[in-house]
Amino acid sequence: MSGTFGDMGNLLRQAQEMHRQMENAREELRKTQLEGSAGGGAVRVAVNGEGQVLKIEISKEALESRDKALLEDLVLAAVRDGLSRASTLREERLSKISGGLSLPGLS
């Protein structure tokens, strides 16, 4: 019977360690800054590893073009690029911790 309780204690320690690693990874993702861009760098977007948009930069040339629709498309494309990079990074970091398991609440 004591073997079962020992196994439970071991599982609890493993779960606590995984939780600690997840919190560390999330903190690292919050601090990691990635860049998305579009139009050859005409629009650049900074996002963190959690997918929060931190900054948008639009080049002077893109502003001077006065093509509203094109500028809107470039901003959207840059944001999507940045968010995609953040999502990929988040999945890579969290899958290392979870051993590739898809566990609820990890993404």
CATH code of 2-98, in short, is 3.30.1310.10
Rounded Cα distance between 101 and 94, Å, is 9
The 10 Å CB-count burial string (b at 16+, else e) for 35-70 is: bbbbbeebbbbbbbbebeeeeeebeeebeeeeeeee
Helix ranges (DSSP H) in the chain: 2-31, 60-64, 68-98
Domains of the chain, residue spans: 2-98
Q: What's the farthest any 2 CA atoms get from each other in the chain? A: 76
- Average pLDDT of the segment spanning 15-20: 88
| Percentage of the residues of the chain whose pLDDT score is greater than 90 | 60
Task: State percent of the chain over pLDDT 70.
Answer: 89
pTM: predicted TM-score of the whole model, two decimal places: 0.76
Q: What is the mean pLDDT of residues 30-45?
A: 97
